[in-house]
Amino acid sequence: MATMQISKETLSILKNFSQLNSNILVKPGNVIKTITTGQNVLAQASVAETFDTEFGIWDLGKFLATVSLFDSPSFDFGPKSVRISGSSGSSVTYYYSEPQLLTTHNKNVQFPDAIVSFDFTQSMFSDLQRAASVLQLSDISIRSEGGEIHAVALNKKDPTTNQYSVVLGETEDVPFVFNFKVDNLRMVDGDYRVDIAKGNVSQFTHSKLDLKYWIALESDSTSGY
């Protein structure tokens, strides 16, 4: 077994992935992926570590909670289990899940040409999330209004509810409304470049990490492109 450590950055990405899917299959290499059970959100990150062994984790949240029991843990990945050891000599053997029991995505994403692109800062997104929580709003709509791109937190089913809006940037004078569920927008903190393509698909690219999310738009999204 090869001993290695896993950075806080990678553990943070895995924690975020656990919010999208409770299980994960990590393949040899430095790329980790996850996909929601509804297959409407796919995430992929290239991390600092290179894993030599394929391993599946059935309950990723439980695995990360186990890792948090140790200060500066080291990992020995074997064929059927990983041994997690702390600096004090304590350790735990954590057994893998069978890969066929896990929700996985093996294909590489070929994202089409974008029809709309904009920057989505952490500050803007935090404001939207906070407003959606306070006002109990379930949707976020990206729309063109008077040559500007607006992100609006709202409840699409009730047009009389309160709405919260922020301006993301400028755009061409072409009408579009791209709708997302708030629950699908669960990304690692940071600024993102957002590209939206025909076919109701979007790509969120982290500005500092090699991390991307592909998030399906709601079917009622419309575009003049």
Q: Judge whether 102 and 109 are in contact, CB under 8 Å.
A: no
pLDDT of 1:
54
pLDDT mean by block of 10 residues, the chain; 225 residues: 88 97 96 95 97 96 97 94 93 96 87 94 95 95 94 92 93 93 96 95 97 96 92
Q: Which CATH architecture has domain 2-101?
A: Box (3.70)
pLDDT of 87:
87
Query: Tokens standing for 128?
Result: 């939207």
User: What pTM was estimated for this model as a whole?
Assistant: 0.94
- What is the residue extent of each domain of the chain? 2-101, 114-223
pLDDT of 215:
97
pLDDT of 173:
86
Cβ atoms within 10 A of the Cβ of 32, count? 21
Fold agreement (2-101, 114-223): yes
Return d(Cα 82, Cα 60) in angstroms, integer: 13
Q: Give Cβ neighbours of residue 168 (< 8 Å, ≥ 6 apart).
A: 118, 119, 120, 124, 142, 148, 149, 150, 151
Hey, what CATH topology would domain 114-223 get?
Answer: Proliferating Cell Nuclear Antigen (3.70.10)
